[in-house]
Structure formats: structure tokens, C-alpha cells
Chain A
Amino acid sequence: MGNNKLFKSQQRTGWLMAAPATLLIFFFLVLPFLMAFGFSLTNQRIFSPNPTEFVGLHNFKNMLSVHFLTVEAEKDETGAFKLDNNGNYQFPKTRKFTRNNPDYPHLNKTREWMKFDVGKTKKFYVLARDLIFMKALTITILFVLITAPLQAGIALLLAMLINQPLRGINIYRTIYFMPVVISMVVVSVLWKFIYDGENGLLNALLHFFSVGYFEPVDWLGQTDTALGAIIAMSIWQGVGFHMIIWLAGLQTIPVDHYEVARLEGANKWQTFSNVTWPGLRNTAILVMVIITMQAFTLFPQVAVMTRGGPLDSTQSLVFQMVERGYGKQDIAGGSTISVFLFLFVLSISLFQRYITREKIHG
């Protein structure tokens, strides 16, 4: 039925034209990705005297395994709490429970991750078998949660600032976008110097602007400032990109909408919330999706500036992935993180899609 000869040639030509790109993507993207899936289910190392074994979900279990432990203060024979010389309660070390304790087999080889006091006589521990992974996971999530809204918000403010018909406004636009065309590697090296505790430019500037009040800080060397420093630098480099996307979105809002608002006497905030923001809805979704996905792949900054430190306060998923897979030749370990990252980002994307879907108007 039908006259398909005419359109069969489209089949052949279609395949032919799509073939180069499709084959390239298949061999250099899809195939390695499937391999990563495969490796995550084994204990493969790049060079290993032992044959590779299939271990199923063992790697994932290990990596994600988290346990809870409540420990009571030590008591003496009479059942009363023992006190030390300073009058403090004494608690058994966690390693009592995590090193081959037959009563707590599931806690074997776990390490202390978080610790909470419950009253005076109890401590509550969160233990993880792959502590560094957990740190990488939480820090990456923290990075995303802070960077995404901040970068998107600042970009929007800058876009609105640039969207004015001032003379020479394009010069400012050019400057704000400039960091985007600089490699993150270059940016990381440069800022490493700027953040330096002794000779750093940032400390000098802050010292000057605070008229001597400000004391120098070793930004990358302290656990409470390292991540923040990386966040600030990442936003500095990336905000110009999203500013332009917002700008494009702003410029698609029809001018008459603004004129209607002016005629109706709307003030700045009202105009923004009733004309600008609704018109930016699609742009907002795009910006958030891109920023979020990008933020999850936090890597060059960490690799160049802190290597995960100090004390694992700037660990990231991708950094760990590369450390294990390439640095330690533990392909299975690296692949496990890859698969996890992919699934995690996928669910976030789907979730983002879900909550920003067009609601059917009744």
C-alpha cells in the first residue's frame, strides 16, 4: 500500500547525513558511558594482577552506605557515670565500634562523619563507609545550592542594569562578559594568587577599603573560607554568560507591556513583578537548568586551587571521580561516581522540568 519508493531515498540519505555525527557520538560518548556503567559493577583497576570480578551493586552500597550510632557515656561497675579528672563524662572512641567489632558488623570500616550531643550523657554519630565521597557529595550539593541562585540572581540584576539605553552601555556589557571567555584554568591560577594569605591581592584591597580594620585571611587555606572563595570566583567567571541570556529574555518582552504598566501608574517593583518577571519565565527555567547542571561538574577550580582541601572542605564529585579513576587507577571506583552523578543530575533535571512545567489552565 502506498507509494514508498519516492520516500525511501529519504531513508538512505537521512541515515547517510546523520551518520558521521551519530557514529562519533556513539563511539566517543555513548559507548564510554555504557562502559562506565559496566565498570561500576566490577572491581576493575587499570593495572591489576588479579582478574576483574563482577561485584554487582557492591560499589554503590559501599559508597552510599551511611549508618547511625548512639553512644552512651561510660559507666562504672555500679552503673553510675564515670567522670574524668575535669569532671567530664567519658565516651568510648568510635573506633571501638567500627574496627572489627563483632556486635556491630555493619559498622565495620565506617568512619565518623557527623557528631551530635544528645543531652550530656549521649552522643549521636553519623558514620559513612566512604567518608570522602559523602563529603564530596554534600559539598557539591552545597556548592550548587549556593552558586545557582546567587549566580542567577546576580546575573539578572546585571542584565537589568545593562538593559538601559545609556551611552557606552555596550562597553560595560563587554567588560562584564569578559571573564567568560577566559579559561577556568587560567582564572583558577590567577585567583589562587589573589587569594593568597600572605601576598594576596584580595587581602591588600580589603585591608585598604576597611581602613586597616581588616586582617589578612588565608582564603584557600582555611576550612571555613575555602569553599566560599571558590564559589565567589566561580560566580565571577560565569555570571556574564547568564547575564547575556537574561538580557536576551528581557529584550523579548514587548515594549507595550511596559507602556501599559506606566499608564496604569505601576511603580518599579510592580512593573518588575507583573511585567518583567512573567515575561522571563522561560528564560529563568533555562538559566537555572544550565547553571545547576554546570555547577554539579565542579572540577577545574578544585583541581587547580585546593585539590579537595583543606581537610576535604572543597571536595567535589567530579574531582573525586578523577582522583580515583585516573589518580588511583581505580576505574571501578571512578565509574561508580560517574554513574551516580549521572543519575543524580538526571533526577534533578527531571524534577526541575516537573516543577516548571506548564500548568494547564482550567
Chain B
Amino acid sequence: MDNLKVSISRQLMRYVLLSWIALIFIFPLIFMIVSSLKPDLQLLRDSSSFRAFLPVGDISFNNYIEAFDRAPIFLFIGNSIFITATTIILSMFACSLAAFSFVFLEWKGKGVILSIILSTLIVPFEAIAIPLLLIVNFLPWVSVDGISIGWLNSYQVQIIPFIADAITIYLFVQYFKDLPKELVEAAHVDGASWFRIYSKIILPLSGPIFATAAILKFLAMYNNQFLWPIMVAQEEQFRPVMVGLLYFFQLNVAWGEVMAYLSIITIPVLAFYISMQKAFVASVANTGIKG
């Protein structure tokens, strides 16, 4: 009987510890969401007490309505989704195709190219932002209106430079390396062409790594696109969600609306994360193991 008691109280202590830590990680989020429902004055007042976490007082969705007036939120979200989704899809194919050729084919120069690609891991994006800006200023683009020069204020400028990256390629390379080479050889003897082997043998077996790479890419594109869009997407029409934040800091800052906007752009991601948290966690774990 005593043993049981000790172990229960031990367990309880563990839960208490875990819960305190959980609070530390979650309190800003609760604060953000709850605050978004309060008018500014109350928000400021409540944040010096525990009422900051409680949806009490003058609760409404007013801040959200005001936020939609202040900034074209649907446009921004739509832009972000479009840019993120397009980049992810194109990236998965370009990078997995390249990784396939690095792992399964023998060709001169592949060692050099792979080394160069991997060495770009050290280069932070900010380091190349300015020269990249100059480059995209001179690139041509074909559209229904004909050929134009310069990619500023467009979707492609926010998508194309980010399709290929060293991390995605590295993840695919490590995963493909672990697949049994005999599968590829058997497919060869069966008469499959290289592209057939890629599409009919390797791709169907790569579900997990596609999920991992896609999730990491999603986080990078949706969450971290900040500096670059500010630099290249000055027209409102093309701006993504993080840049939209600036709209709420011009002239007077209405913190209620800020919280509302933060909630609008963050809650979907959180919901997505919670529903797929196994996949998210597996993504990072995979990266760790492959590293």
C-alpha cells in the first residue's frame, strides 16, 4: 500500500513539473488569443494582472472586424497560401529529382555539384538578399502580356528563388541512400527507364521524407518570409502575411487589432500543427537522425 502511495505522489510531482513548464510555453499564446477579444483599454489594463489570461470583461470580435478593415487580410493570407503551396510542390519535385540522380546514377561532376550545394547550408539568406535583389531586377518573365524585364512585385520573385535549397536536397539524399539499392537494380533488369524508376519505385516509397521536407518547407515559407517580401513586394497586391503585420504599426498602434491579426495568421498553423503533430515531430526527428 505504501509503495503505491509513493509512486502515485511521485507521478503527481512529475505531472506538476511538466505542467508548470507547459504553462511557460503556452502562456504567451493564451494571452495573445484572449487579448484579441478585448478592447484596447481593457487589454492594457488587464495585462498587469492575471486577467490577461481570462476572457472576461468586454469580450467581442470587434478587433477582428477592425483588423479586416485596416488591412486586406484575405489577400495576404491568400498570397501566403499560394506562394507557400507552389514553392512546396515545385521544391519537392526539383529536389527529389536531383537527389535521385545524386544517389542512384553515376555521372561526372555529381560529387562537385553536391558539395557546392551542401556548402550553401552555411550561407544565411540575408547575406545574399541584396545581390539577389539586383539579379531579379534584370530577369525576364513571360506572361499573357508578353515578355517583361524584372521580377519585382510578383509572385514568381517570392517563389522561384526558394524552390531549391540545400536542406531539402540533403534530406532526400540521406533518405534515398537508405533505400535498398537492389530495388533499383531489379527495376533495371525489369526494363524500367530512369524516370520510370524515379516515379514508380522510389517516389511511392518516399512518403515519410516527403512529409518531412514539406513540413519544414512550409514553416520556412509561411513563417519566415519577412525580409525578402519587404524588399521585393512593395505593391500590396503581392504581399504575404508577415509583411501585412507592418500595416498594424503605422501611426497609432491598436494592440487589440494587432493581437487579432497575430491570431488570425497563427491559429490556422497551430490547428494544422496540432492535428498533424505526429508528422511535425517526426519531421524534426528525421532531420536529427539523418544528420
Residues in A lying within 8 Å of B, measured CB to CB: 7, 10-11, 13-18, 20-22, 24-25, 27-33, 35-36, 39, 158, 161, 164, 166, 169-170, 172-187, 189-191, 193-194, 196, 199-201, 203-204, 207-208, 236, 240-241, 244-249, 252, 283, 286-287, 290, 293, 296-297, 299-300, 303, 318, 321-322, 325-326, 331, 334-335, 338, 341-342, 345-346, 349
Contacts and interface: CB of A to CB of B under 8 A. Distances in A.
Interface in B120-155: 120-124, 126-135
Contact of B242 (A22, A39, A185, A318): A185
B74 interface: no
B29 A201 contact: no
A180 B222 CA distance: 13
Contacts of B194: 10, 13, 17
Interface of B: 11, 14-15, 17-19, 21-22, 24-26, 28-29, 31-32, 44, 47-50, 52, 93-95, 97-98, 100-102, 105-110, 113, 116-117, 120-124, 126-135, 160-166, 169, 194-195, 198, 219, 222-224, 226-227, 231, 242, 245, 255, 258, 262, 265-266, 269-270, 273-274, 277, 280-281, 284-289, 291
Contact of B245 (A18, A189, A194, A326): A189
Contacts, number: 270
A33 B126 CA distance: 10
Contact of A10 (B94, B107, B121): B107
Contacts of B281: 173-174, 177, 244
Nearest to B288: A245
A356 to B, nearest CB: 13
Contacts of A194: 28, 31
A280 to B, nearest CB: 11
Contact of B224 (A158, A183, A244): A183
Contacts of B24: 236
A357 to B, nearest CB: 16
Contacts of B223: 181-186
A25 B17 CA distance: 46
B100 A17 contact: yes
Given A36-B128, A191-B28, A248-B286, 18 more contacts: A13-B194, A16-B101, A17-B198, A21-B98, A24-B163, A28-B161, A30-B116, A31-B131, A36-B130, A181-B273, A182-B266, A185-B224, A186-B223, A189-B262, A199-B44, A247-B285, A299-B126, A318-B126
**A191, A199, A240: which has the most chain B beta carbons within 10 Å?**
A199
Nearest to B291: A286
Nearest to A193: B255
Contacts of B31: 190, 194, 201
A178 B101 contact: no
- 7 smallest CB-CB distances across A and B, nearest first, come from A14-B107, A245-B288, A183-B223, A32-B131, A21-B98, A17-B101, A35-B131
B48 A186 contact: no
